[in-house]
Structure 1
Amino acid sequence: MENARIEAIYNETFSGLKLFYRDTNLPENLISNYKIGQIIKERGFTDMTFIGGGLSGNFRYLIASADAKDLSKFDPDASKTGHYLLASDAYFKVLDIQQAENKTQVFLLNIPDNAVSLFKNSISNIEEEIIEKAQQRFKDKINLDLIPELQTEDWIERTRLPIGMSIEGEMFFNDSEINESPQEIAINKNTKKIEIKKPWWKIW
């Protein structure tokens, strides 16, 4: 893959990147399915909020995405919950997993479906930087008060299911089947990570 193409993909992924929250309660057998570096795919829509309070359950998805849709533009009530949505069949890379006080945060990066192999087989300096931000968010928010608007029956129902797997723990996507291209093998072995100049991105 040419460097210009790689930079275009990273520009698409990280330019305008925002952080979103999705809390639920998950049993340990589902939580243990997530591994750092893993690529997952969510079949359904992904409901999430930009409002970050204390963890509503034992598990939080912190989701970084530049592609989420603000539903308040179509539904004024959605502004109360800070409701954003990702379309079905979205792909994510598991960047980080944090655990403290019997609570877990899994940090997901929303990635383009045409760049799954690239993200699986390489890591960038930008990924490393946003992981630090995600870890700090977990520390800062784990003991905050809950957001009342996110405790309603409707919101809890919207966000109760795991991302990337069924409630029985069956993963929707097997990332072990992703093949390395010669260019991506070279990225891994020769440069270890992709260095991207980033005057154009700032996480929100």
Structure 2
Amino acid sequence: MTEIGNGLFENNEEIINWTYPGATLYYKDCDLNPSVAEKFTKGKLIRNGFFLDVSIRGGGIKFNTRFLIASAKAAKLYEVNPDNERFGHCCLNLDSYFKILDIYQLEGKTQIFLLHIPAKSLKYFESVTSNWDEDFIKKARQSFDNKIHMEPISDLLEPFWLKRTNFPVGMDASEKFYPLTSISTITKNEQPLYNGIKNLTKDNSDINTPTPYFSEQNNKPKGGFWKKIFG
């Protein structure tokens, strides 16, 4: 993938085709402390350093926060394991990347809307907002408007599901964002699931091979010694 003069990529069509066509909405509800919730800001890029369980089933919301995820690369594990069909169990792979498209608050509840993006598109999405995004945001807000007064889906309140989902996307156990400047080490036990999700979603192109990302926007040299070197 080669850069062009404006700092984007000449194959942005590949990025668009990976991200948008076939994207489906997935749900992950949890309780977040206000100090954690406020760290999620519109436009932020995040990396999720674990396998992310989500549901294709969307109902009312019991907890204070809903992560709504638009993804074209979520593996429908409930089709492989019928025992989890009632949860609508889907999974996004280890080291999935997201752009926060919208933060929407309504009646004391918050919806954090994430767009699943390929690993090698971070520079692109750091600089670009598309008409696709605006359309998705409208649909996401409409979804929240329609569902906030519905009853929660009882299956998604069972201990099995809450254990897998009641924590924020993209944060470690200390509630700090996984850095974009590193990637996860895949253990021998994790490799089969990692490869299985790639195969189920036909996600085997180089565009989504995780690599450390250093943002030019957020890592510009500032003053002093570095200013003398870089000008």
Q: TM-score normalised by the shorter chain: which range applies?
A: 0.7 to 0.9
For the 8 Å contact 1:9–1:115, the answer to whether it is kept is yes
Contact 1:164/1:173 (<8 A) preserved: no
The match for 1:186 is none
Which residue of 2 is the match for residue 179 of structure 1?
Answer: 216
Q: Which residue of 2 aligns with 1:156?
A: 162
Q: Deviations over 1:121-174 (max 9, x none)?
A: 111110111011111111111111010111100001100111111343311125
CA displacement 1:14-38 (0-9 Å, x = unmatched): 1111000000111001100001000
Q: Aligned ranges for residues 1-204 of structure 1 at < 5 Å?
A: 1=3, 5-173=11-179, 177-179=214-216
Structure 1 ranges of 4+ moved more than 3 A:
1-4, 174-177
Q: 40-49 vs 70-79, which deviates more?
A: 70-79
TM norm structure 1: 0.84
Kindly tell me the number of residue pairs found equivalent between the two proteins.
Answer: 180
Q: Using the alignment, how far apart are the partners of 1:174 and 1:71 within structure 2? A: 27
Alignment identity in percent? 37
1:149 and 1:166 map into 2 onto residues whose CA distance is: 26
State the alpha-carbon separation in 2 of the partners of residues 125 and 145 from structure 1. Answer: 32
Q: Check the 8 A contact 1:58/1:104 in 2, yes or no.
A: yes
Cα RMSD (Å): 1.7
Q: What is the distance in 2 between the residues matched to 1:4 and 1:17? A: 23
Q: TM-score, normalized by length of structure 2?
A: 0.74
Contact 1:21 1:52 in 2 (8 A): yes
Name the amino acid aligned to 2:124: L
1: CA distance between counterparts of 2:180 and 2:57? 31
Deviation at 1:84, TM superposition (A): 0.5
Structure 2, unaligned runs of 5 or more: 182-212, 218-231
